[in-house]
Copies of this chain bind each other. A is one copy, B any other.
């Protein structure tokens, strides 16, 4: 049955690619209110498509009470497989990261351009490409077979790139509607590429922005220079204390309660070899990081504190002889299993407060909490289904891998709805997600349109009861 569906999808490839490009053209940047129109356009396009495919209950899900900065999720269902068959939540997101710096893009970020088999655009890889694969697979089952092998609940988030501020409230308001046996995520890569991979975990995340003030106003550097704290010097000194010379996080209490990595986990990380020299060469960067760990471990099994943005003083053309009174920094922390977001945030905040000298006034701006790291249990049916699919499609035992990034939904759905997730996205790690010239491979689109029919078919061989208590 999955072959007929895959054949149908292969025949529809041009139309599917067209729909993907249309979706990409909506600049759905969730973090910036200036892009509200792009968000709305993406939502309407997707709802129209889901209804046209024959899904029911296609609608927006919102919290009972609006959450500042929140974005509605898109929901749709097909429940014709019957109560004995598992109900699979399919997850994707329709929002994207900001595209700036725009001047580093070869072609405009929201005007997709195909070059050398790659679709260049913001959101192509993260994650409109894989989301389109998931949606179109469901549509093809309905069109060709008149039904899916499993019951489907589609959930497309609109705030993945901003830490899902209203997602817990959306889940709370629609708990019954969102009941499912397991989740298959179009976000979180690993399925693409020559070597089969089973992506079974991701790092968590929390964020913290802070500002510091050294005087009530900027002053002329000729007048005060030498006798007044410069906010940029103080910011530099504070940020410099966050890591040691080898890039290890130097924040006391940041890893409180985290056990050392087990041999099993380290062996899993080693099972997919990484050419570290090639990895660094691809980014044009020099080797860096804690020498006690491999690059794969550093980027998936170790936590980070990263300054994503830092600014203050005069940054325009020419110069300005000012002693700045204010400086700002945006930080995010990647978390590993065992780390509590609140504890990690509090540790970083306390570190900054402890290192700020008298005369430096700090102010913090952050949403308490964040997302814990996620791991799919070793004996979960999703693992077996995905491994079978990957074995068949690619040959050989899939490597067990983890994502260095964060898919908050995996943690949230586990904690809030008791369902586990498998990340089955088609994005590859080299596709410059979150950076200029992000792209998605046309070949990955094609591969996804083969793999997704297979995994839904595989899950359709299982019973709903197989997922009880997982």
- B100 contacts A225, C-beta separation under 8 Å: no
In the complex, how many angstroms separate the beta carbon of A192 from the nearest chain B beta carbon? 14
Across the interface, which residues of B come within 8 angstroms of A239, CB to CB? 232-233, 236-237, 240
Across the interface, which residues of B come within 8 angstroms of A310, CB to CB? 232, 235-236, 310-313, 315, 327
The answer to whether A332 has its CB under 8 Å from any CB of chain B is yes
The answer to whether A207 has its CB under 8 Å from any CB of chain B is yes
Across the interface, which residues of B come within 8 angstroms of A225, CB to CB? 299, 304, 306, 334, 404
The answer to whether A72 has its CB under 8 Å from any CB of chain B is no
Nearest-neighbor residue (CB-CB) of A225 within chain B = B304
Q: If the complex has contacts A32-B318, A222-B203, A334-B226, are A217 and B308 also in contact, measured as CB distance less than 8 A?
A: no
The answer to whether A284 has its CB under 8 Å from any CB of chain B is yes
- B219 contacts A307, C-beta separation under 8 Å: no
Within 8 A of B (CB), among A415-432: 429, 432
Produce 1/0 per residue, A344-378, CB < 8 A to B. 00000000000001110000000000000000000
Across the interface, which residues of B come within 8 angstroms of A322, CB to CB? 308-309, 434-435
- Of the stretches A7-15, A36-44, A287-295, the one at the interface is A287-295
Number of copies: 2
- B314 contacts A320, C-beta separation under 8 Å: no
- B215 contacts A283, C-beta separation under 8 Å: yes
Bound form: Cα–Cα A163–B320 in Å: 10
The answer to whether A330 has its CB under 8 Å from any CB of chain B is yes
Residue from the list B30, B32, B327, B433 in contact with A220, Cβ < 8 A: B433
In the complex, how many angstroms separate the beta carbon of A289 from the nearest chain B beta carbon? 4
- B318 contacts A162, C-beta separation under 8 Å: yes
The answer to whether A324 has its CB under 8 Å from any CB of chain B is yes
Query: What 19 additional pairs, Cβ within 8 angstroms, besides A229-B285, A311-B312?
Result: A30-B318, A31-B320, A203-B222, A214-B286, A217-B437, A218-B435, A221-B434, A222-B403, A226-B303, A227-B295, A228-B289, A229-B247, A232-B239, A232-B310, A236-B236, A236-B239, A236-B310, A306-B323, A311-B315
